[in-house]
Amino acid sequence: MPNPANYRSSPPVYHRIQSPRGGPHRMWPAASASRVPVLSTECRTMTQPRPLHRTLLGAVALLACTMLFGGCVGQGEYDRLYETNRSLTNRNAELQRERDEARAQADLMRGNIGSSAGTLADLQAQNAALKAQLDKALADFSELQNRIAGLKFGPLDSDTDQALAALAAQYPDLIKYDSSRGMLRFASDLTFDSGSDVVKEDAKRALAALGQILNNSAASGYDVYVEGHTDSQRISSNTAKRFPTNRYLSAARSISVINELAKLGVKPGRMLAAGWGEWRPAVPNTSSGNTPANRRVEIFLVKASAGTMMLDESQVPAERSSGSAKPKSEKPPARPVDMSK
């Protein structure tokens, strides 16, 4: 209940009111001051709006303004927003394509890595196989060196030694005999014409006498090594049609000597042909390379290795001696690279 003490007296107040029909103004007293309550400070505080109410009222007003003024967008602003949206859409599609391409490239690279790993494994396997082959070749070469080192190049039995010495004395210009090594040296210039592997007649007679010595029982235990040598002169163009290098020529001459001895009954399985070319000179070559002393065929008698198996001629008919003549249809060999130079 209001406190009567809050009521106070005040002078009367009159309001001037226009008559509705244009009559004279009338003065009406205002409400009596004695009837107007004056609220205390406590009451006035209770009737003021709270801060939350004010916030809600402000939000409602702001929403109303937004709806009132934001509902209408200009055409230019709309077009700008539309173009921006379309540009962003296109950019998004482009980025997706780039992402897909990057994924595809990554898949391809992973595939290539797998393929490269397989290729690397293959190469490693091939390398291992080649290394094994090389090791075997080195082992074979070492064994061959040991066999060569074990060859008995030295004095022969007395009967064979005397027979070879007599042969060299019979052909002093053609044959030189080294008793300490068991070696006969035939001068190539007297054994072959220049650039040829055909044995001359005088040399054939000397080889016939040698064949008789080799077929004797005393010399039957020796193998016969025939080695061809040349000087350092270059092969002429005519000779190169048949023998591309000096090594070819020296090997061909060794084979011709073996063929002549085989005709005389010396077993082919006892004989070995080799061609050194210009690489084992007996004396230093001259500046021109023309050095007759280095053009030679050397024949060594070597004790046959124990346990060595030798085939009979009947077992290898294709290897029968046929002389140095070649089939007429055979073409000159292509000139290879001489790997020894």
Per-residue pLDDT of 131-149, as tens digits, reads 888 888 888 777 766 665 5
**Could you say which architecture CATH assigns to the domain 158-305?**
2-Layer Sandwich (3.30)
Listed range (4-8, 33-37, 191-195) with the worst mean pLDDT? 33-37
31-66 residues labelled b (16+ CB within 10 A) or e (exposed): eeeeeeeeeeeeeeeeeeeeeeeeeeeeeeeeeeee
The overall average pLDDT reported for the chain is: 75
113: pLDDT confidence band, cut at 50, 70 and 90? confident
Question: Do the beta carbons of residue 197 and residue 255 sit within 8 Å?
Answer: yes
Q: Please indicate whether residue 66 or residue 133 has the higher confidence score (pLDDT).
A: 133
pLDDT over 50 (residue 32): no
User: What band does 55 get if pLDDT is binned at 50, 70 and 90?
Assistant: low
Q: Which of 102, 215, 219, 225 is nearest to 159 (CA)?
A: 219
Domain-wise residue ranges, the chain: 1-49, 92-150, 158-305
Q: How far apart are CA 146 and CA 149, in angstroms?
A: 5
> Would you state the structure tokens that stand for residue 253, as one six-digit string?
């001459």
In percent, the amount of the chain with pLDDT more than 90 equals 30
Is residue 176 a contact partner of residue 184, using CB atoms and an 8 Å limit? yes
> pTM for this one?
0.49
155-189 per-position pLDDT tens digit: 789 999 999 999 999 999 999 999 988 999 998 88
